[in-house]
Structure 1
Amino acid sequence: MNASQGSNEGSFLFYTSSSKVSKRTDKPLFFKEAIIFGNGGSANIHYSNEPFSTTSHCIVATQKEENINIKYVYYYLSGNLHLIERGFKGVGLKNISPKYIENLDIPIFPIETQNKIVSVLDKANSIISKRGRSLEILEQFIVDSFLEMFSDPVLNTKKWKLKPLSEVVHKIDAGWSPVCEETPRESSNQFAILKQSAVSKRVFDPSQNKLLPENTVIKKKILAQKNDVLFSRKNTKEMVGSTVYLFEDYEKLLLPDTIFNLRYNSNKISGVYLYFLFNDKNFQKKIQQLRSGAADSMSNISQDKLYKLQIPLPDIKLQNNFENIVLNVNAKKQKIQNSLNELNGLIGSIMQRAFNGQLNFNVDLELEALINEIDLQKKTNDIKEIAGDIAYLQRLIDKLNTQDFSEKIMYDKAKLVAFQLMNESEEKRRVSQEYDEKTKSIRLSLL
């Protein structure tokens, strides 16, 4: 099938050579559990246990032998994408051959061990998926709040006054584009020039930069700083006009001449409101009408046209209320993201130990994943899974008594679980403290 045959609707997933799965279909071509390899561009891999379809730029692998858990193979290869990447050959758009994939070496354990590895990784990935979904819900809450408070900025049903951007943006600074290294900087102590990709996704990505060569004389020092609104004035047809807001401070990141810094008057407009306004899907179309240039690949928006852009201007107090909502939600998102980063580190460790044959299949890893979910800011957490399993409880006690934790934060979370368990009502209590004569110390014990 061709990629054009995929749509936004359908009962089944439609895989292309992309790492993102965004298309669907009502005509499945494959019905068995399978691994799907993208065959074009860069290495990517997917797993499916439901009917699906693919383009001709995919390679589909199904189970050949009964003693192989195909999801185990998927987990191994997804954790070692470099093995697949090596197989991409050719000039221009590179491809990988089915023969190369067939000849990949994979450590094969007894099927019972494979199944246990899959079970552990499934549980860890389930937690990661829930965290990712929480981030999506918070993102949507902000968008919904914007529309509820201000209405659609193009339809303007709340009849806000329309003003040219020049009334709230007193100056537009453009950066400078010198010859730079091809690699990003290694430290915030080094000067670097931002790439267009730092703003193209409409969320600021400071890692997208090019190192400024040493001893370069800086001719135009326009820095990216907290509370700035940055605007992509020259980009592809789809990306021109991309806007980001800087919620944090950054050091020595210089703007190129293709990115504007919109110097707004905070007494008249909130930078956060301006950011969400410019990234509203309907208002984006209005901004893109300002572009000029013969080549669609590099459209341009001039300062003059941008200054004249008519924008809805609600009361500044309402804008500031929205900004506070965004900042509060972002704080929650950061906590979830930190947890997500920890979980990704955990699953990476699990995969490394599992596929090196170093994974001891007791309850350690599953308990570690559950402990990692504990929020130290809460006095009471949901610990039903730990409290309801004797194996988890005993291992928790053993680890606390020996302080067998690789990180202090995990030890602190485990202690919080223990305190909560000891504070249960008498009929529910499973954990207590006792004095150990041998070690002359207080130890936890299982009731």
Structure 2
Amino acid sequence: MSFPKMRLDKVCRITMGQAPSGDSYNFDGHGLALIAGAGDFGKETPEPKKYTTAAGKRSEEGEIILCIRATIGDLNWSDKKYCLGRGVAGLFGHKDKLDQKYLWHWLKNIAPLLKSKGKGATFLQVTKEDICSLEIALPPLAEQHRIAAILDQADELRQKRQQAIEKLDQLLQATFIDMFGDPVSNPKGWDIFKSKSLFQAPPRIGTTTPANGEGIPVVRVGELGQFHIDFEKCGRVQISESDFKKYELKNGDLVLARAIGSKNQLGKCSYFSQYFEPVCIDSHVMRLRPDPKKMHPLWFYFLLSSDQGKKILQSKGGATAVQFNINSAQANDLDIALPPLSEQAKFVEIANKILKNKDSHIKSLEKNNLLFSSLQNQAFNGTL
């Protein structure tokens, strides 16, 4: 069944944000919390960092806050009144025409279309007319409620699966700390070694040859996932055989982001096990090759990717005007509180069981995402 379409501004109040004067900002809770852009978004409701005593445009409780700059299309619910900054807009459906939850799911569905309207040299941004001119399929309110309820239930399944994955990650971290203590303060008194003495080969920064779509896969920062490398997104690079031997990845290697925009990302790391073809790294990442006779590679991975392990890297890393980085000499100079190999192996055995469970949840989440996407398409083309 097809439903009539209407311009969004005919059935929805759209409030474009406005930046308050800079001298009104504070971090002490005076005035209204400022939502300047997606950087102030939480999972579902805002996590603001600043306040303003000169709020101009404001949101109401129950309003949808839409990001209109850079990460166009991101959404949060307004759980109270906020000041809407320049990077966001507030949307509130007319109660006699448009259900807010239906609007939420519809905005999620058309986010790619909205992003395609973005313009700008420094960063993309959409205008009020870009938003107003969007055409929304408008079934009767009762049908909107029904569609929103189905999508809510499907989304809840996805969220529960995601929460299970996050809890398994927390369990991994908690198990590591329980067995070995904080690797920074070293409360269990493990012997301290410089990382250089625990590597089989010196840390290696990758090739500067740009990817051109041909040759062998090259791992960059963007392909580093939690534990796994996303090979489907890898570029390809043509390098000589001698250069490949410098930059290749072997089973048990760690790939570390070494040049990134945020200090908090320093320590983003993936573990390489195998791939069906040769793989190398580019210059924004670093290869670490632990000596398995001294340090279990998987144990070292969990150390570096833990919150405490990242502090070890951050304590050594430096910064330029545009990015945070860590070089080979600094990677060689890490202080590692090293438990015996037998204790490392016990942890790895436990971790592999948790990871197997996590992998099962990830596969289920992928199925939930496909189901949700299918339901979205059906919901907004009138076949749900």
Q: Distance in 2 between matches of 1:333 and 1:6?
A: 42
Shift of 1:130: 0.7
- Take 1:6 and 1:345, find their aligned partners in 2: how far apart are those partners? 43
Query: 1:259 deviation in Å?
Result: 3.0
Residue in 2 that maps onto 1:220: 243
1:108-155 per-position Cα deviation (integer Å, ceiling 9, x unaligned): 111121111111101101111111110111000000111111111111
How many angstroms apart in 2 are the aligned matches of 1:40 and 1:276? 36
The answer for the alignment partner of 2:234 in structure 1 is: 209
- Structure 1 counterpart of 2:41: 21
Q: Is the 8 A contact 1:232 1:240 kept in 2?
A: yes
For the 8 Å contact 1:195–1:208, the answer to whether it is kept is: no
Partner of 2:82: 53
For residues 285 and 273 of structure 1, the distance between their equivalents in structure 2, rounded to whole angstroms, comes to 17
- Among 158, 166, 175, the residue aligned to 1:128: 158
Asked whether the 8 Å contact 2:196–2:202 carries over to 1, the reply is no
Q: Which residue of 2 aligns with 1:88?
A: 118
**Structure 2 counterpart of 1:329, one-letter code:** I
Instruction: Check 1:123–1:255 CA distance in 2 against 1; reply closer, same or farther (3 A cut).
Output: same
In structure 2, stretches of 5+ residues that fail to align are: 1-18
- Normalised by the length of structure 1, the TM-score is 0.69
Mean Cα displacement is larger for which, 315-324 or 162-171?
Answer: 162-171
Q: 1:124 to 1:244 in 2, by over 3 A?
A: same
In the alignment, the residues of structure 1 paired with residue 173 and residue 107 of structure 2 have an alpha-carbon distance, to the nearest angstrom, of 37
Larger Cα Rg: Structure 1 or Structure 2? 1
Q: 1:103 to 1:308 in 2, by over 3 A?
A: closer
SS at match of 1:269: coil
Counterpart residue number, 1:323: 348
Partner AA of 2:162 in structure 1 = G
CA distance in 2, matches of 1:354, 1:136: 29
Distance 2:79 2:261 in 1: 37
Match of 1:313 in 2: 338
Equivalent of 2:183, from 153, 159, 167?
Answer: 153
Do the aligned partners of residues 268 and 85 (structure 1) sit closer, same or farther apart at CA in structure 2, a change above 3 Å counting?
same
- Where is the strand percentage greater, Structure 1 or Structure 2? 2
CA contact (8 A) 1:235 1:300 kept: no
SS at match of 2:136: coil
For residues 169-212 of structure 1, what are the alpha-carbon distances to aligned partners after superposition, in whole Å with 9 as ceiling and x for unaligned? 1212523232322x6x7xxxx61222233338776333442222
For the structure 1 residues 52 and 195, does the alpha-carbon distance in structure 2 shift closer, same or farther, using more than 3 Å as the test? farther
- Normalised TM-score (structure 2): 0.79
Q: Match of 1:18, as an amino acid?
A: A
Paired residue type of 1:195? R
Aligned residues: CA RMSD: 3.3
Inter-partner Cα distance in structure 1 for 2:209 and 2:275: 23
Tell me: CA distance 1:344–1:15, structure 2 relative to 1, closer, same or farther (3 Å): farther
Moved more, 241-250 or 318-327: 241-250
Contact 2:318 2:325 in 1 (8 A): yes
Distance 1:280 1:36 in 2: 33
Question: Pick from 44, 53, 70: which aligns with 1:41?
Answer: 70
Query: 2:291 matched to 1:291?
Result: no
Task: Tell me how many residue pairs correspond in the alignment.
Answer: 349
Tell me: CA distance 1:72–1:24, structure 2 relative to 1, closer, same or farther (3 Å).
same
Q: Which residue of 1 aligns with 2:377?
A: 352
Correspondences of 1:12-411 after superposition (within 5 Å): 15-18=35-38, 21-22=41-42, 23-24=47-48, 29-48=58-77, 50-56=79-85, 57-172=87-202, 174=204, 175-181=206-212, 191-199=216-224, 204-212=229-237, 217-221=240-244, 222-236=247-261, 238=263, 239-247=265-273, 249=275, 251-292=277-318, 294-295=320-321, 297=323, 299-303=325-329, 305-359=330-384
| Contact 2:34–2:49 (Cα < 8 Å) also in 1 | yes
Moved more, 275-284 or 311-320: 275-284
Deviation at 1:72, TM superposition (A): 1.1
State the Cα distance separating 1:21 from its structure 2 match. Answer: 2.4
